[in-house]
Amino acid sequence: MARYCLLGHVDPAKLDEYKARHAAVWPELLVALRDAGWRNYSLFLRPDGLLIGYCESDDLDAAQEKVAATEINAKWQAEMTRLFAGEGAPDEAWERIEEVFNLEDQLAASGN
């Protein structure tokens, strides 16, 4: 399973609302993400609005397409868009960051 780091930007003036919304994500959306192939998905938010996402997936492109095709995701994205600094749906604006080190991978490769 591949690991992915995703970069986004929340409007710094809307951080509290963003955090509140993500403290209670709709159960139907959680199931849609899981069923689409998102695993071990976490979000990290810096006070200036920098948003870092981490997830694992067999194929993140396919997982994104599957969840994007759901009605619940369309509703969520419509509500979240105004919280982001930038244009378009947040789930389509992620910048992927290359992984250059993983402790477990290197330990396994070294036999330790």
In 3D space, the residue among 102, 93, 18 whose CA is nearest the CA of residue 56 turns out to be 102
In 3D space, the residue among 77, 71, 72, 4 whose CA is nearest the CA of residue 42 turns out to be 4
Q: Which of 22, 34, 39, 96 is catalytic?
A: 22
Respond yes or no: is residue 9 known to be catalytic: no
Which amino acids are annotated catalytic? 22
